[in-house]
Amino acid sequence: MQTVKMVVTGPFNAGKTAFIQAVSEIDVVSTERKISSEAERIKETTTVAMDFGRITVDDDLVLYLFGTPGQKRFDFMWEILSEGMLGFIVIVDSARPETFREAKSILETFRAYAPTPYVVAANKQDMPDAWDVEDLRIALRIDSKIKLLPCVAPDKESVKAILLELLYSILEEMNEK
């Protein structure tokens, strides 16, 4: 049995928890807490430590998904969660351009933790004001070699497609070694 650890990261409210919940075959172990600060109250709760989910790909391959908190004050968890990861996914809220800069900075932070493959998920593509994937690539200055995929986190199929793309990149890199 082979297990692959993937980290799901990105800015506050980007959809990391929703992404893991959509595909996990176990009840996601989550650490949602009520949001106390008025400024961040665009939703009721936020992840304060991590999300944990699992998805079986086939008889001998299981993915373990670790979601990070999005808020800066919990970023001490990021490096801990990145321990042993074989790849990571950066979730971007395509409808909130004011978060793009932070998404890029989180991407760079995780690249510095480990030189693993990663993919970028252009989430919330169902929202009317969502940026197109290719516009997002330009705004975030993501190299054409990096996979940047459309995503609607509550839609299981779109999440699966992204996990598979990351898995392919991970397996490809293993074969090169």
Ligand X SMILES: Nc1nc2c(ncn2[C@@H]2O[C@H](COP(=O)(O)OP(=O)(O)OP(=O)(O)O)[C@@H](O)[C@H]2O)c(=O)[nH]1
Contact residues for ligand X, defined by CB under 6 A: 10, 12-18, 43, 46-47, 69-71, 123-124, 126-127, 152-154
For Mg ion, the closer CB: 32 or 173: 32
Identity of the residue, 50 or 170, whose beta carbon is nearer to ligand X in the bound complex? 50
Residues 34-73 close enough to bind Mg ion by CB under 5 A: 47
| Cβ at position 47, least distance to Mg ion in Å | 3
Give the burial string for 70-97 (b: 16+ CB within 10 Å, else e).
bbeebeebbeebbeebbbbbbbbbbbbe
Report the partner that residue 150 touches, choosing among ligand X, Mg ion, none (CB closer than 5 to 8 A by kind): none
Q: What is the dihedral of CA 52, 121, 153, 102, to 10 degrees?
A: 80
9 binds Mg ion (CB under 5 A): no
- Residue 57 in contact with residue 46, Cβ under 8 Å? no
CA distances from 79 to 39, 43, 114, 157 (A): 26, 26, 10, 29
- Residue placing its CB nearer to ligand X in the complex, 80 or 174: 80
Among 13, 17, 116, 123, binds Mg ion (CB under 5 A): 17
> Among residues 42 and 174, whose Cβ is nearest to ligand X?
42
Contact 74, 48 (CB under 8 A): yes
CB of 149 to Mg ion, least distance (A): 20
Q: How far is the CB of 87 from ligand X (least distance, A)?
A: 18
C-alpha to C-alpha distance for 65 and 134, rounded to whole angstroms? 27
